Amino acid sequence: MKIYIKTYGCQMNERDSESAAALLAEAGHTIVYTEEEADAVILNTCSVREQAEIKAIGKLGIMKRLLYEKPHMIFGIMGCMAQSRGEELLQKIPHLDFAVGTDNIHALPEIFEDLAKERAKIRKDARFGADTPGIDAHRVEEADKPYCAFISISRGCNRFCSYCIVPYVRGRERCREADSIVKEAEMLAEKGVVEIMLLGQNVAAYGMGDVLPPIPDDESPFADLLERISAIEGIRRIRFTSPHPAFFNKKLIEMIARLPKVCKNIHLPMQSGSDRILKEMNRPYNSAQYYKIVEDLRSLVPHINFSTDIIVGFPTETEEDFNATHALMHKVGFDNAFIFKYSPRKGTKSSKMTDDVPQAEKERRNQVLLAELEETNKRKNAALVGETFELLVEGPSKRNAERWSGRTDTFKTVVFPKPENIKEGDFIHVKVTSATSMTLYGEVVEK
Ligand code: SF4
């Protein structure tokens, strides 16, 4: 069967789609890249952002037209919307054939086999540990960036931040065995992967079980995992996302500083700079503790940079609360920030609070922070002119195919004129010659 998988939402979903594609290809199906070519379409959905959920349901409606030409067409959903609303959607959308929850991706080949036989409607909902069959399946050769791969190290989350639906739709945290993760990384390295991105809702809590913050300073199974992956020959860069700040301890900070392969760009979701709002969000740290992580890392690795997630307009957020967020953002000097205007997600604790910050005010606060980000980037990028960086080459630049681009270990994009004999996935050295707030430009100084 020809199967098209469309992915909505986060990198975890992208990774799940890759696993699903690998399992289905192994079962003899062909993965295609347009719905027109397909006999079956799977939407890998997301409940975390309301927009992604709306888009996926809308897409299912639009795709019904495909049934006129191909009445045998199969439609399915997978991912966290399937987990949380699968049954409801199966009832509401008559042309939806199956919904498979986040922990049952390995059931897809069986579902297709059953559907091919009897087009039965199937929903599998039982939860397993995180080492579910197929979680380590990859399609390195077919990937857009065959030199780079994602590894899911855990599923679900125990934190219950008051605005977040993840613990309800992806379940409680289940961590994979370290040996299994290391084996997967070794297999990827053998296939030529040089950069690994470790994924989880709260990677810093990996292996800690039910421990509540404040966590001890000398124990971090995640730091141990970083060390083991670092020892793998062929792996040259390790990234991870997302870590909860309350699980950053001394051991993890020192390990990040000590291991050269761990990229020096840390995504550290701040959410708010107001201690009162952080409490309302059920985020067990305050602005001073957050800033201390930044300071501790910078004292060990002066060139390290940070990205973050911020929510503006959380219920009851006053001008003073917002100013505290703005001030902390300015003090840290983030190189990137994903800024979200608060919107309530049904079933979360904060959805019971009055969404009392007007939309126009949320928009204004969003714009203020975006302007802050641009200003910081302009200043920090200008300071990099004249410096030389090692880049992982990513291929032709989006705007001009004559020029190529690559990433520094701090996740900065550098655009350069393409020299002869380089290919995607190579490492080269580039000297920065000019900069904008978004991009650095440079020339190759050494291959
Ligand atoms: S840490 Fe909080 S925001 Fe992140 S997934 Fe868990 S509950 Fe959601």
Task: Give the number of the atom of ligand 1 that is nearest the alpha carbon of residue 160.
Answer: 7
Q: Which of 241, 263, 285 is the last residue of a domain?
A: 263
pLDDT tier, 298 (very low <50, low <70, confident <90, very high otherwise): very high
Task: Give the number of the atom of ligand 1 that is nearest the alpha carbon of residue 48.
Answer: 8
Whether 340 maps to a domain, the answer reads no
Encoding tokens for residue 415? 């655009």
pLDDT tier, 125 (very low <50, low <70, confident <90, very high otherwise): very low
Does the structure show a pLDDT above 70 at 100?
A: yes
Task: Give the number of the atom of ligand 1 that is nearest the alpha carbon of residue 201.
Answer: 5
% of residues, the chain, pLDDT over 90: 67
pLDDT tier, 124 (very low <50, low <70, confident <90, very high otherwise): very low
Q: Which residues does 157 contact at the CB level (< 8 Å), separation at least 6?
A: 164, 166, 167, 170, 172, 173, 201, 202
Comparing CA positions, the residue from 327, 251, 282, 22 lying closest to residue 149 is 22
* Same domain assignment for residues 147 and 120: no
Q: Going along 138-226, which residue ranges are E strands?
A: 148-152, 154-155, 174-175, 195-199
Q: Which of 219, 241, 263 is the last residue of a domain?
A: 263
* Same domain assignment for residues 159 and 186: yes
Mean local confidence (pLDDT), 296-318: 98
Ligand 1 probe mutation, 12, 47, 102, 157, most atoms within 8 A of CB: 157
Q: What CA–CA distance (Å, rounded) separates 339 from 312?
A: 7
Ligand 1 probe mutation, 202, 272, 309, 314, most atoms within 8 A of CB: 202
Residues with CB under 6 A from ligand 1: 157, 159-161, 164, 166-167, 201-202, 244
* Same domain assignment for residues 112 and 153: no
Whether 145 maps to a domain, the answer reads yes
Query: Which 3 state secondary structure label does DSSP give 392?
Result: strand
* Structural domain total, the chain: 3
Does the structure show a pLDDT above 90 at 267?
A: yes
pLDDT tier, 323 (very low <50, low <70, confident <90, very high otherwise): very high
Comparing CA positions, the residue from 168, 103, 95 lying closest to residue 129 is 103
Sign of CA dihedral 113, 115, 118, 123: positive
Task: Give the number of the atom of ligand 1 that is nearest the alpha carbon of residue 165.
Answer: 8
Walk across the sheet containing 305-312 and list its strands.
265-267, 305-312, 336-341
Going by alpha carbons, the residue nearest to atom 4 of ligand 1 is 201
Query: What is the 209 CA–ligand 1 centroid distance (Å)?
Result: 15
Query: What is the 158 CA–ligand 1 centroid distance (Å)?
Result: 8
Whether 194 maps to a domain, the answer reads yes
Q: Give the pLDDT confidence score for residue 146 in this predicted structure.
A: 93
Ligand 1 probe mutation, 159, 215, 283, most atoms within 8 A of CB: 159
Q: Give the pLDDT confidence score for residue 291 in this predicted structure.
A: 98
* Same domain assignment for residues 96 and 153: no
Query: What is the 201 CA–ligand 1 centroid distance (Å)?
Result: 6
Query: What is the 301 CA–ligand 1 centroid distance (Å)?
Result: 27
Q: Give the pLDDT confidence score for residue 161 in this predicted structure.
A: 96
Q: What CA–CA distance (Å, rounded) separates 14 from 7?
A: 6
Query: What is the 166 CA–ligand 1 centroid distance (Å)?
Result: 6
Whether 206 maps to a domain, the answer reads yes
Q: Give the pLDDT confidence score for residue 220 in this predicted structure.
A: 95
* Same domain assignment for residues 147 and 79: no
Whether 282 contacts 306, CB under 8 Å: no
* Same domain assignment for residues 115 and 173: no
Whether 131 maps to a domain, the answer reads no
* Same domain assignment for residues 173 and 214: yes
User: 376 or 173: which carries more pLDDT confidence?
Assistant: 376
Does the structure show a pLDDT above 90 at 311?
A: yes
Encoding tokens for residue 241? 């996302």
Q: Which helix (H) or strand (E) holds 364?
A: helix 359-382
Task: Mean pLDDT check: name the lowest of 21-30, 106-115, 403-412.
Answer: 106-115
Q: Give the pLDDT confidence score for residue 122 in this predicted structure.
A: 36
Going by alpha carbons, the residue nearest to atom 2 of ligand 1 is 161
Ligand 1 probe mutation, 166, 281, 311, 342, most atoms within 8 A of CB: 166
pLDDT tens for 393-408 read 999 988 888 899 999 9
Sign of CA dihedral 394, 204, 291, 170: positive
* CATH value at residue 86: 3.40.50.12160
Going by alpha carbons, the residue nearest to atom 1 of ligand 1 is 159
Whether 19 maps to a domain, the answer reads yes
Cβ atoms within 10 Å of 38's Cβ, excluding its own:
24
Does the structure show a pLDDT above 70 at 16?
A: yes
pLDDT tier, 128 (very low <50, low <70, confident <90, very high otherwise): very low
Query: What is the 373 CA–ligand 1 centroid distance (Å)?
Result: 23
pLDDT tens for 403-428 read 999 999 999 999 999 888 899 999 99
Cβ atoms within 10 Å of 144's Cβ, excluding its own:
8
Query: What is the 286 CA–ligand 1 centroid distance (Å)?
Result: 16
Comparing CA positions, the residue from 140, 232, 246 lying closest to residue 178 is 232
Q: Which residues does 413 contact at the CB level (< 8 Å), separation at least 6?
A: 405, 406, 407, 438, 439, 440
Instruction: Provide the β-strand partners of residue 78.
Output: 44, 100
* CATH value at residue 244: 3.30.750.210
Mean local confidence (pLDDT), 434-443: 95
Does the structure show a pLDDT above 50 at 31?
A: yes
Does the structure show a pLDDT above 70 at 119?
A: no
Task: Mean pLDDT check: name the lowest of 68-72, 242-246, 265-269, 286-290.
Answer: 68-72
Report the alpha-carbon angle 280-297-15, nearest 5.
70
Ligand 1 probe mutation, 11, 152, 164, most atoms within 8 A of CB: 164
Q: What CA–CA distance (Å, rounded) separates 134 from 186?
A: 16
Mean local confidence (pLDDT), 362-372: 98
Q: Which residues does 73 contact at the CB level (< 8 Å), separation at least 6?
A: 38, 39, 40, 41, 66, 67
pLDDT tens for 36-48 read 888 899 999 877 6
Q: Which of 244, 263, 282 is the last residue of a domain?
A: 263
Q: Give the pLDDT confidence score for residue 127 in this predicted structure.
A: 36
- State how far the alpha carbon of 305 is from the alpha carbons of 70, 295, 332, in Å: 51, 11, 9
Task: Give the number of the atom of ligand 1 that is nearest the alpha carbon of residue 167.
Answer: 7
Q: Which residues does 260 contact at the CB level (< 8 Å), separation at least 6?
A: none
Q: Give the pLDDT confidence score for residue 126 in this predicted structure.
A: 36
Going by alpha carbons, the residue nearest to atom 8 of ligand 1 is 164
Q: What CA–CA distance (Å, rounded) separates 48 from 169?
A: 9
* Same domain assignment for residues 104 and 153: no
Peptide linkage before 242 cis (omega within 30 of 0): yes
pLDDT tier, 118 (very low <50, low <70, confident <90, very high otherwise): low
Does the structure show a pLDDT above 80 at 129?
A: no
Query: What is the 271 CA–ligand 1 centroid distance (Å)?
Result: 11
* Same domain assignment for residues 69 and 169: no
pLDDT tens for 168-184 read 888 888 899 999 999 99
Single-letter residue type at 3: I
Query: What is the 245 CA–ligand 1 centroid distance (Å)?
Result: 11
Q: What CA–CA distance (Å, rounded) separates 84 from 46?
A: 10
Mean local confidence (pLDDT), 252-272: 98
Q: Give the pLDDT confidence score for residue 116 in this predicted structure.
A: 73
* Domain housing 80: 2-124
* CATH value at residue 394: 2.40.50.140
Whether 78 maps to a domain, the answer reads yes
Whether 397 maps to a domain, the answer reads yes
Cβ atoms within 10 Å of 261's Cβ, excluding its own:
19
Whether 8 contacts 48, CB under 8 Å: no
Q: Give the pLDDT confidence score for residue 222 in this predicted structure.
A: 97
Query: What is the 330 CA–ligand 1 centroid distance (Å)?
Result: 24
Going by alpha carbons, the residue nearest to atom 5 of ligand 1 is 201
pLDDT tens for 184-220 read 999 999 999 999 999 999 999 999 987 889 999 999 9
Task: Give the number of the atom of ligand 1 that is nearest the alpha carbon of residue 283.
Answer: 2
